[in-house]
């Protein structure tokens, strides 16, 4: 990697600042999925083993008003981290000031401290999300000049807790998770074993135009599913009933199809429903025969077979976005079919990015069969688009 990593710096006895992505789903103080925390453990453990004094921080959710703070405190995250590490984690319930500075001064080698949600700073003028220069400088001043960024999930954003700090320290380096994400995603799109098959789903074409364009250039096949498929079907001249449709993107879909030729593969049949509900009546229809008043909420069996067959020959797979409204069991078959087909490839690099497809992959029971399940949704999309990630750009060059 062209950027320095945590292995390139001497950490012994140093106060090391480390940005992690502990933006985990929490309900009533209970963490529902700790994958991002687990994935950050190798870097945390390494830094502690080197005898550093580790200062961790992360954002959690969006803090828009004072009342949001109670549900978005990092306190339960600190407790859970302590369990995962098997050692005490000092939690400091603030993002700046004497209490934090004193706790850092008291921190011993091999010990770890987590301070409060970085986005608490957003209440006073979006200081964290707006990369306020004073805040990045202040946080940088809390350490001994070393900043480790292991938060791939926020690398596509320029915030005080990543870019801000990185610009104010001697050494800004990647953690192992950041390194792993960049390696797998980078190889998949820049140096793939072929055929490279990309599967793109999810709700809207508009969110994914840049990534569709980029992958049409790099991949051998691009399979399109989910809500965004209907704008393409409409562009082919089919009626799509009440299915999700972005009228203002039909022309663009037409252009993309013309450029891509048979590289771009659309669903050939659809599971349609008479209501957006798990209790709806459903039936499978050909993609050019969606009845008026019905909406496409999942791909059909023939599509699942077609996509699975194409995947069988793949040597690299990049998957982002569900094939249907997979949150409802009735419309999860397309997404599950992709999951199974990708998981059963034995001689392929398989990469899943994006919150929904990543959670589908994890819940499928085949999580360990994927080469890499990315911790970053937006960040992995930006990366696949070929855009620079500010959080990575700000790290020190090797």
Distances, alpha carbon 79 to alpha carbons 30, 83, 212, 363, in Å:
10, 7, 41, 25
Residue 137 labeled ligand binder: no
Whichever of 91 and 230 has its CB closer to ligand AMP, that residue is: 230
Phi, psi dihedrals of residue 269, rounded to the nearest 5°: -145, 165
Q: Output the smallest distance, CB 298 to ligand AMP, in A.
A: 7
Q: In what order do the strands lie in the sheet with 53-57?
A: 89-92, 112-115, 53-57, 15-19, 146-149, 171-174
Cα–Cα separations (whole angstroms), residue 260 to 160, 212, 221, 314, 366:
40, 10, 9, 18, 32
C-beta closer to ligand AMP: residue 176 or 319: 319
> Is 221 a residue of the active site?
no
CA 134 to chain CA mean position, Å? 28
Q: From the CB of 295, what's the least distance to ligand AMP, in Å?
A: 7
Q: Is 377 annotated as a binding residue?
A: no
Cα 143 to Cα 55: distance, rounded to the nearest angstrom: 8
Given the residues 69, 204, 236, 330, select the one marked as catalytic: 204
* Cα(296)–Cα(148) distance, integer angstroms: 45
Question: Minimum distance from CB of 356 to ligand AMP (Å)?
Answer: 5
Sites of contact with ligand AMP (CB under 6 A):
202-204, 207, 226-227, 244, 296-297, 321-322, 324-325, 327, 354, 356
Minimum CB distance to ligand AMP, residue 321 (Å): 4
R_g of the chain, CA atoms, integer Å: 23
Give me the catalytic one of 136, 201, 355, 377. 355
Cβ proximity to ligand AMP, 79 vs 385, nearer residue = 385
Does the annotation place 355 within a ligand binding site? Answer: yes
Contact between 104 and 113 under an 8 Å Cβ cutoff? The reply is yes
- Active-site residue 355, yes or no? yes
Q: Give the residue closest to ligand AMP by C-beta.
A: 202
The response to whether 327 counts as a known ligand-binding position is: yes
194 catalytically annotated: no
- Is 23 among the annotated ligand-binding positions? yes
**Is 36 an annotated catalytic residue?**
yes
Annotated binding-site members for ATP: 208, 296, 327, 354-357
Annotated binding-site members for substrate: 21-23, 36, 59-62, 119, 157
Active site residues: 36, 204, 355, 378
């Amino acid at each position: 990697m062209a950027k320095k990593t945590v292995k390139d710096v001497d950490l012994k006895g140093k106060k090391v600042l480390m940005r992690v992505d502990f933006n985990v789903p929490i309900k009533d103080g209970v963490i529902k999925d700790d994958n991002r925390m687990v994935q950050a453990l190798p870097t945390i453990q390494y830094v502690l083993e080197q005898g550093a004094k580790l200062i961790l921080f992360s954002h959690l959710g969006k803090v828009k008003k004072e009342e949001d703070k109670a549900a978005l405190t990092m306190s339960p995250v600190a407790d859970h981290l302590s369990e995962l590490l098997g050692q005490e984690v000092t939690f400091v319930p603030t993002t700046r000031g004497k209490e934090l500075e004193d706790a850092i001064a008291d921190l011993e080698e091999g010990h770890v401290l987590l301070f409060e949600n970085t986005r608490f700073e957003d209440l006073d003028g979006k200081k964290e999300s707006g990369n306020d220069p004073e805040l990045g400088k202040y946080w940088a001043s809390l350490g001994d000049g070393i900043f480790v960024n292991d938060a791939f999930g926020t690398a596509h954003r320029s915030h005080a807790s990543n870019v801000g700090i990185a610009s104010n320290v001697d050494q800004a380096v990647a953690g192992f998770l950041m390194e792993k994400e960049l390696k797998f995603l980078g190889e998949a799109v820049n140096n793939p074993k072929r055929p490279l098959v990309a599967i793109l789903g999810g709700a809207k074409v508009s969110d994914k135009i840049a990534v569709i364009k980029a992958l049409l250039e790099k991949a051998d096949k691009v399979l399109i599913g989910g809500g965004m498929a209907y704008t393409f079907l409409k562009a082919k001249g089919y009626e799509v009933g009440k299915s999700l449709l972005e009228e203002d993107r039909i022309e663009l879909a037409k252009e993309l199809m013309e450029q891509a030729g048979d590289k771009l593969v659309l669903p050939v049949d659809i599971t349609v429903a008479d209501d957006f509900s798990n209790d709806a009546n459903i039936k499978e229809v050909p993609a050019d025969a969606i009845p008026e008043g019905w909406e496409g909420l999942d791909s059909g069996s023939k599509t699942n077979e077609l996509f699975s067959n194409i995947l069988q020959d793949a040597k690299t797979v990049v998957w982002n976005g569900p094939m249907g409204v997979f949150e409802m069991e009735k419309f999860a078959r397309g997404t599950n079919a992709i999951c199974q087909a990708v998981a059963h490839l034995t001689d392929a690099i398989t990469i899943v990015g994006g919150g929904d497809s990543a959670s589908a992959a994890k819940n499928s029971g085949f999580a360990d069969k994927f080469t890499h399940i990315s911790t970053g949704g937006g960040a992995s999309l930006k990366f696949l688009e070929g855009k620079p990630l500010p959080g990575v750009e700000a790290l020190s060059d090797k």
